[in-house]
Amino acid sequence: MRMLNGVVRFATTIAVVVMFAGTARADHQTVKVATKEKLGSYLTDAKGMTLYVFKKDSPGKSACAGDCVTKWPLYYQEEVGVTGSLQAADFATVTREDGKKQTTYKGLPLYYFSGDKAASDTKGQGFKDLWTVAAP
C-alpha cells in the first residue's frame, strides 16, 4: 500500500509539472494588447515588446529585406496564444522569400524595432512615415 501511495504521489507531481510547463510555454507565445494615452491600443509579445507593421508590405508578403530586417527584426512564433478580444484566427505564418518564417496579424507581417529596448517602448511608431504599431 505504501508503495502504491508513493507511485500515485509521483504520478500526480509529474502531471502538475507538465501542466504548468505547458501553461508557461503557451504564455511565452501570447500576443497581448497594450495601451498608451497618445497612441491608443497596440500589440505586444508576451514580454511587452511592441509589434509593428510596415506600410510597404502587402497581405502575406513582406517588403522588408536585407538591412531593413536588421533594424526591424521579424516576429515569429510557431503558435500564437491570444488574450482579451484578440482572435487566434487573425494570426498566421508566412514563409518569406529569404526562407524565414514570420507571424502575420490580419495578413500583415509583424516586426520588432531594434530601437525599442524595454517593454512598452514604441520608438518605431511613425518611423519615416512607414512604420506603425500593430493595432488590434
**What are the DSSP calls for 117-131, one per residue?**
-STT--TTTTGGGTE
Could you tell me if 119 and 112 are in contact, meaning their C-beta atoms sit under 8 angstroms apart?
Answer: no
Angstrom distance (rounded) from CA 35 to CA 79: 24
30-36 β-sheet, strand order: 40-44, 30-36, 81-82
Instruction: Work out how many domains the chain is built from and give that number.
Output: 1
pLDDT of res. 126: 97
Q: Is the pLDDT of residue 117 over 60?
A: yes
In order of 11, 30, 40, 75, 114, the CA distances from 64 in angstroms are 49, 24, 25, 12, 14
In this structure, is residue 7 part of a structural domain? no
Torsion sign across C-alpha atoms 106, 25, 123, 65: negative
In this structure, is residue 93 part of a structural domain? yes
Closest CA to 109 of 42, 41, 71, 60: 60
pLDDT tens digits for 37-75? Answer: 999 999 999 999 999 999 999 999 999 999 999 999 999
In this structure, is residue 100 part of a structural domain? yes
In this structure, is residue 25 part of a structural domain? no
Q: How confident is the model at residue 10 (pLDDT cuts 50, 70, 90)?
A: very low
pLDDT of res. 84: 86
Tell me the sheet residues that pair with 103: 93
pLDDT of res. 18: 39
Q: The domain containing residue 93 runs over which residues?
A: 31-133
In this structure, is residue 10 part of a structural domain? no
In this structure, is residue 50 part of a structural domain? yes
pLDDT tens digits for 93-104? Answer: 999 999 999 999
